[in-house]
Amino acid sequence: MSSIDYSEKIPNNVNLSDDRRLQRALEKWQPAFLNWWGDMGPEASSDHEVYLRTAVDVSPKGWAQFDMVRMPEYRWGIFLADREVDRKINFGIHKGEDVWQEVPGEYRSELRRLIVTQGDTEPASVEQQRLLGLSCPSLYDLRSLFQINVEEGRHLWAMVYLLHAYFGRDGREEAEEMLVRHSGDEDKPRILEAFNVPTEDWLSFFMFTFFQDRDGKFQLSSLAESGFDPLSRTCRFMLTEEAHHMFVGETGVGRVVERSAQLSKQHDTLDIAPYGGIPLPMIQKWMNFHFSICLDLFGQETSTNAANFYSMGLKGRYLETKIDDDHALGNDMFHVPELRGDNVVMAEAPALTAINERLRNDYREDCQRGVDRWNKIIAKAGADYTLTLPHNAFHRNIGTFQGMHFTPQGKPISKEEFDANRANWMPSEADREFVKSLMVRVTERGKMANWVAPPSRGVHGQDVDYEYVKLH
Ligand code: BYC
């Protein structure tokens, strides 16, 4: 087990000081990162002391240390999971060969592209969430936001390390570009669409951390299977942090749902807006929006990019080694959806090209489990409402259903019908204004905004009313 050296300017467990050139290059990138954090990171937060966890070692247990930290002083660094002895490539045409410790020359551009796409999402999310601290529902939630933000910053470090260490000059240029593209920027936007959507209210933040961070879980899990061992190792460690982000999302939406269900029961109506709650049908609209934009993050249903990444051994499937097949997929078929007449039907496609679709299915199942738990919360509170994930064809902008229009149940409709119903299915301007009007900052110790239930317990054994953020 490798512990992390915190005496270095850049904390790391990769013996950075043994490679002076790399160390110098990263030390040059470090101030640019800190400037970016100052400009684009959480607004007006630099003097707050935040109860943050910091990685101490990379073992699954006991890696975290909790302390009051000012965020600009957070020790961002480079942490890779330990190397597995004799690790082999588990899929594709190199199956059975030793994993690569260096970039295979023939796959350099594909690998760089994957790392850049992954890396780009991390600072994007920080940019998307930068104003949320100004409207937090409690100190507990403010801490969660900041914890996630610093860890996304660290995930950027993880990808920048790979670019610097393994891709020479163009890797360094890509690392600089990570701080030049910005979420929603007209000229230099982030790469993937869902990372250019602002996260303007806390319901959106909880939806983001449930749905969008879960894309992170599935993409990182697929990259953790990579034959390029440094990528696999860094993704394995990132996944331990990602789990907490999804916890914030699931419990966050769960707490909103709980409060809304309580108010619905108490006042015997779903229209709880007059009582300062978010109506359950409005939560459904937020879900429809976030789930559908996240489905796009998996790419097209059939993709030669994905087939190539797989055959090359660069990006596997979710839990690759647990799947019972030949891990080469030369002859296998997989079901992908398409519109035939008035129905979405399942057609056969080569499994190799349907890798994205398979991952999207895995993702949907995982999301459904969370939605089921939210529905139990509603039922337990005695309210009458069921949240449902929309059909995969609903509101899609990538792949087979791009440019088509469907109801949330998956019935094809005209653009006119979609437009006429848009505000019933997805947040309207008025809905967004209403939710924003509830987002009044609560920073008194132990207090919670009215639209969200308190968490069932605090962080790391602390009480819920612990002063998780000291505001300065
Ligand atoms: N937006 O062949 P296709 C996370 C492009 S989240 C815009 O199907 P492919 C996190 C595509 O690039 C995880 N463009 O694509 C979460 C391609 O472009 P070209 C992030 C899109 O490559 C929360 C074209 O359309 N990690 O970590 O098979 C907070 C054809 O598509 C989009 C990764 O994504 C889109 N949504 O699949 C913080 C892993 N989708 O070739 C962090 C790395 C597709 O025509 N990335 N396109 O120029 C990948 O594995 C793949 O790039 C994708 C796309 C799965 C995203």
Whole-number Å distance, alpha carbon 396 to ligand 1 midpoint, is 14
pLDDT of 2 reads 67
Whole-number Å distance, alpha carbon 68 to ligand 1 midpoint, is 36
pLDDT of 62 reads 60
Whole-number Å distance, alpha carbon 155 to ligand 1 midpoint, is 17
pLDDT of 60 reads 65
Query: Which mutation among 197, 214, 300, 363 tests ligand 1's pocket best, with the greatest number of atoms within 8 A of CB?
Result: 300
Residue 167 CA: distances (Å) to CA of 15, 108, 141, 163: 18, 8, 39, 5
Atom 5 of ligand 1 has which residue's CA nearest to it?
299
pLDDT of 6 reads 80
Whole-number Å distance, alpha carbon 297 to ligand 1 midpoint, is 6
Contacts of 407 (CB under 8 A, 6+ apart): 391, 394, 413, 421, 425
pLDDT of 239 reads 94
Kindly give the number of the ligand 1 atom that is closest to the alpha carbon of 296.
36
> pTM of whole model > 0.85?
yes
Kindly give the number of the ligand 1 atom that is closest to the alpha carbon of 223.
39
Whole-number Å distance, alpha carbon 375 to ligand 1 midpoint, is 31
Query: Which mutation among 242, 297, 363 tests ligand 1's pocket best, with the greatest number of atoms within 8 A of CB?
Result: 297
Pocket of ligand 1 (CB under 6 A): 114, 117-118, 121-122, 125, 152, 192-193, 212-213, 215-216, 219, 296-300, 303, 305-306, 315, 356, 398
Atom 13 of ligand 1 has which residue's CA nearest to it?
216
Whole-number Å distance, alpha carbon 92 to ligand 1 midpoint, is 20
pLDDT of 61 reads 64
pLDDT of 457 reads 96
Whole-number Å distance, alpha carbon 222 to ligand 1 midpoint, is 13
Atom 47 of ligand 1 has which residue's CA nearest to it?
299
Whole-number Å distance, alpha carbon 268 to ligand 1 midpoint, is 44
472 residues of the chain, pLDDT tens digit each:
567 778 889 999 999 999 999 999 999 999 999 999 999 999 999 999 999 998 877 776 666 889 999 999 999 999 999 999 999 999 999 999 999 999 999 999 999 999 999 999 999 999 999 999 999 999 999 999 999 999 999 999 999 999 999 999 999 999 999 999 999 999 999 999 999 999 999 999 999 999 999 999 999 999 999 999 999 999 999 998 899 999 999 999 999 999 999 999 999 999 999 999 999 999 999 999 999 999 999 999 999 999 999 999 999 999 999 999 999 999 999 999 999 999 999 999 999 999 999 999 999 999 999 999 999 999 999 999 999 999 999 999 999 999 999 999 999 999 999 999 999 999 999 999 999 999 999 999 999 999 999 999 999 999 999 999 999 8
222: tokens are 């697929």
